[in-house]
């Protein structure tokens, strides 16, 4: 994604000099959170009590107490807070340099919602509060920073474990890495061979792990990601159809229309109307 496109469509971390930020759900956002938006950072949402609704990449989710959500960079997000109360954990990808061996691509979950047992939620929420207390200290030592990162790592590992146990995904590192590089390179690479080269694997191997995890080939997932990015840009509403076509490296608006028609049965204008009525 080029710099202008990124700047026009991405909400940046509210505190740019910090890798990790904890905020209450009702904090005064520095952007218009009433409209669909996308972040350049990860956001873990912990709903302690109350109710609300949110959309993550066009899918609606009801919010209720003792529930968690994971939103990763690039996803289109909209939250209607209503009576929901809780905390937000916001952090940039850079932070993974300090919490190895966990990697950022392990948080690219298919399902963003988690419904842990009450005692598990309470434990994770307590850790989040302890992180917030550490980050609020005036004399924030280097050890305190790493202590906060350790709490975060436990929370993230817990999400990975819950996703694996509850959803039963047959993920491996290659699958997760593919999802990560796919989301980062969809503007410029559309062939399975390109991603095999990035991941240093054969096409047969990539298709094998994609079929095992999703029941789809690598090319089918590439096309799904491309269509998802088109839908995201249509929802954000800051580019014309022609601008979106060229930003995503289609040879012409005609080929852009052909792709959308083949995947959805709709024209670009019809898809735009459908997307804008989804949130």
Buried b (16+ CB within 10 A) or exposed e, 257-272: bebbeeeeeeebeebb
Over the stretch 222-264, which tens digit does the pLDDT of each residue have? 998 899 899 888 888 888 999 999 999 999 999 999 999 999 9
Buried b (16+ CB within 10 A) or exposed e, 150-166: ebbbebbebbbebbeee
Over the stretch 31-87, which tens digit does the pLDDT of each residue have? 666 778 888 889 999 999 999 999 998 889 999 999 999 998 888 889 999 999 999
Q: How confident is the model at residue 14 (pLDDT cuts 50, 70, 90)?
A: low
Task: Report in angstroms the alpha-carbon separations of 217 from 145, 205, 206, 213.
Answer: 42, 11, 8, 10
Report pLDDT for 176: 79
Query: How long a stretch of residues is the chain?
Result: 279
**Do 163 and 51 have their domain in common?**
yes
Report pLDDT for 168: 39
Mean pLDDT of all residues in 7-25: 68
Question: What's the number of domains the chain is made of?
Answer: 2
Radius of gyration of the chain from its Cα atoms, rounded to whole angstroms: 19
Pick the last residue of a domain from 133, 167, 201: 167
Pick the last residue of a domain from 167, 188, 205: 167
**Do 206 and 156 have their domain in common?**
no
Please state the φ and ψ torsions of residue 77, each to the nearest 5 degrees. -135, 140
Pick the last residue of a domain from 101, 133, 167: 167
Q: Domain of residue 144: give its range.
A: 3-167
CB 248 within 8 A of CB 226: yes
Classified as helix, coil or strand, 201 is: coil
Mean pLDDT of all residues in 24-31: 77
User: Cβ neighbours of residue 186 under 8 Å, at least 6 residues apart?
Assistant: 222, 225, 226, 229, 248
Report pLDDT for 13: 56
**Do 101 and 12 have their domain in common?**
yes
**Do 39 and 158 have their domain in common?**
yes
**Do 193 and 138 have their domain in common?**
no
d(CA 150, CA 147): 5
Mean pLDDT of all residues in 262-279: 84
pLDDT at 7 over 50: no
* CATH assignment at residue 205: 1.10.10.60
**Do 144 and 194 have their domain in common?**
no
């Amino acid at each position: 994604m080029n710099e202008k496109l990124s700047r026009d469509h991405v909400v940046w971390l509210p505190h740019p000099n910090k890798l990790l930020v904890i905020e209450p759900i009702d904090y005064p956002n520095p952007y218009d959170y009433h409209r669909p938006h996308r972040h350049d950072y990860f956001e873990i949402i912990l709903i302690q009590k109350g109710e609300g609704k949110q959309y993550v990449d066009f899918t609606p989710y009801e919010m209720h107490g003792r529930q968690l959500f994971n939103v990763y960079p690039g996803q289109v997000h909209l939250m209607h807070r209503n009576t929901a109360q809780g905390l937000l954990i916001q952090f940039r990808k850079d932070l993974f340099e300090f919490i190895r061996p966990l990697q950022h691509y392990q948080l690219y979950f298919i399902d963003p919602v988690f419904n842990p047992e009450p005692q598990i939620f309470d434990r994770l929420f307590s850790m989040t509060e302890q992180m917030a207390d550490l980050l609020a200290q005036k004399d924030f030592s280097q050890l305190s920073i790493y202590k906060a990162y350790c709490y975060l790592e436990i929370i993230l590992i817990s999400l990975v474990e819950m996703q694996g146990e509850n959803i039963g995904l047959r993920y491996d590192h290659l699958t997760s890495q593919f999802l990560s590089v796919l989301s980062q390179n969809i503007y410029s690479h559309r062939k399975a061979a390109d991603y095999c080269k990035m991941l240093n694997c054969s096409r047969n191997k990539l298709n094998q792990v994609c079929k095992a995890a999703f029941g789809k080939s690598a090319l089918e997932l590439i096309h799904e990601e491309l269509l998802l990015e088109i839908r995201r840009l249509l929802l954000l509403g800051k580019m014309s159809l022609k601008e979106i076509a060229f930003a995503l490296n289609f040879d012409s608006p005609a080929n852009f229309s052909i792709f959308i028609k083949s995947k959805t049965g709709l024209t670009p204008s019809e898809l735009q109307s459908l997307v804008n009525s989804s949130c």
